[in-house]
């Protein structure tokens, strides 16, 4: 019977140093799959970036990513006065560092040419040097021989495509025909290309999103609570390098950046329903009945519906939204989710039951 402590003395988390832990990002898995958060387009001092490759792993931990690829250019180096050209350096320097930190590291490189075909990432290769070829077609072939996943980067990059409209040129169509193109960047850095969603639907390709970061993630994007960096969400059979590879070739992806989700409806729909849960009517009065929608994820959703009260609902991330509807409303209520893009001009349609 003796003690009073007037003031809280236990400050577990008081530290002035960042701790190197991996953030838990609140996203649902899909039935049969785990959701891997990936940024598969990153640069370092070994092409025209400004950071040592291990920094990309540190950033991945901080941002809660599961997998990254370092994809330095094969043909563009800004630090040659000081840095030896070694197309596999990013991989070699980082391999063990990533392993100890449980980050899946994908070996890759970026094959750069004028448009067409523009820039193409080769992922899951084992030797970038053998992709240095005069003919881009030879480069692709060398990549394919290593089992590469080929991703067409920033297809509407204004530097190469002044009107900004991505077009599938003959060479791209020929790649698709041979099974040599597996994904296209819908989102690169802060630009996105709705047409890519149509291309991927038509040709059964993976919809991809990447930061294409050269500097620092934290010094490039403003990062408040929901300003998440660009990433590809990959629905893999397990959290492993090989399962990631299988899922990418199968095209099981969505893109997430900031407050936007984009991809094919077959993944966007169960993903959305995985993020939310709808309660029963918990209260009613003379005029209205009340229910709740819980958004368990880190992604806010904006529901729009011209017909019924309420016309629009924002389901903020990690929040429970109260919805009051007229007593005569018949369920389900249908909405479009205005920040989930499933086609060039098409938004995900959902029902609240």
Residues from 255 through 294 that contact its own copies (CB under 8 A): 257-260, 282-283, 285, 290, 292, 294
Buried b (16+ CB within 10 A) or exposed e, 275-301: bbebeeeeeeeeeebebebebbbbbbb
Our finding on whether 327 is near its own copies (CB under 8 A) is: no
Q: How far is the CB of 144 from its own copies (least distance, A)?
A: 26
Range in contact with its own copies (rule: CB under 8 A) among 118-126, 155-163, 241-249, 328-336: 155-163
Residue 46 or 149 having the CB closest to its own copies: 46
Binder to its own copies among 59, 72, 110, 212 (CB under 8 A)?
59
Task: Name 302's Cβ contacts closer than 8 Å, sequence gap at least 6.
Answer: 312, 313, 314, 315, 337, 338, 339
Binder to its own copies among 204, 226, 287, 311 (CB under 8 A)?
226
Our finding on whether 168 is near its own copies (CB under 8 A) is: yes
C-alpha to C-alpha distance for 50 and 273, rounded to whole angstroms: 40
Residue 26, Cβ density class (10 Å: 0-12 exposed, 13-18 middle, ≥19 buried):
middle
Residue with tokens 């519906």: 305
Q: Closest by alpha carbon to 25, among 33, 34, 16, 17? A: 34
Range in contact with its own copies (rule: CB under 8 A) among 34-42, 130-138, 219-227, 268-276: 219-227
Binder to its own copies among 320, 332, 334, 351 (CB under 8 A)?
320
Helices 89-100 and 54-63: angle between axes, nearest 10 degrees: 40
Range in contact with its own copies (rule: CB under 8 A) among 67-75, 86-94, 130-138, 144-152: 86-94
Report 189-208 residues binding its own copies (CB under 8 A).
Answer: 190-195, 198
CB 188 within 8 A of CB 212: yes
DSSP bridge pairs for 322 = 292
Our finding on whether 27 is near its own copies (CB under 8 A) is: no
Range in contact with its own copies (rule: CB under 8 A) among 50-58, 68-76, 113-121, 142-150: 50-58
């Amino acid at each position: 019977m003796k003690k009073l402590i007037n003031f809280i003395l236990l400050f577990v988390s008081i530290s002035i140093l960042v701790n190197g832990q991996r953030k838990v990002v609140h996203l649902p898995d899909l039935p049969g799959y785990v959701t891997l958060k990936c940024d598969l387009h990153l640069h370092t001092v070994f092409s025209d970036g400004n950071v040592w490759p291990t920094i990309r792993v540190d950033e991945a931990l901080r941002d809660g990513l599961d997998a990254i690829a370092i994809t330095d250019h094969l043909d563009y180096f800004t630090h040659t006065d000081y840095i030896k050209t070694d197309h596999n350096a990013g991989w070699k320097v980082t391999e063990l560092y990533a392993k100890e930190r449980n980050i899946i590291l994908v070996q890759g490189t970026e094959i750069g040419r004028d448009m067409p075909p523009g820039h193409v990432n080769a992922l899951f290769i084992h030797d970038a040097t053998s992709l240095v070829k005069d003919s881009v077609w030879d480069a692709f072939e060398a990549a394919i021989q290593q089992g590469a996943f080929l991703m067409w980067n920033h297809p509407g990059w204004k530097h190469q495509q002044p009107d900004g409209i991505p077009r599938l040129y003959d060479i791209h169509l020929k790649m698709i025909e041979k099974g040599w193109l597996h994904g296209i960047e819908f989102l690169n850095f802060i630009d996105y290309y709705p047409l890519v969603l149509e291309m991927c639907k038509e040709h059964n390709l993976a919809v991809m999103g990447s930061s294409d970061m050269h500097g620092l993630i934290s010094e490039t994007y403003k990062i408040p609570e929901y300003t998440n960096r660009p990433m590809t969400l990959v629905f893999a059979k397990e959290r492993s390098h090989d399962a990631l590879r299988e899922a990418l070739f199968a095209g099981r992806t969505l893109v997430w950046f900031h407050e936007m989700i984009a991809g094919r409806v077959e993944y966007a729909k169960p993903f959305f329903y995985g993020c939310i849960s709808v309660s029963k009517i918990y209260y009613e009065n003379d005029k209205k009945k009340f229910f709740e929608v819980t958004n368990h994820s880190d992604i806010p959703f904006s529901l729009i519906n011209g017909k019924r009260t309420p016309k629009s609902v924002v389901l903020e991330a990690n929040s429970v939204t109260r919805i009051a509807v007229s007593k005569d409303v018949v369920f389900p209520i249908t909405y479009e989710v205005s920040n989930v893009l499933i086609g060039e001009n098409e938004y995900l349609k959902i029902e609240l039951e």
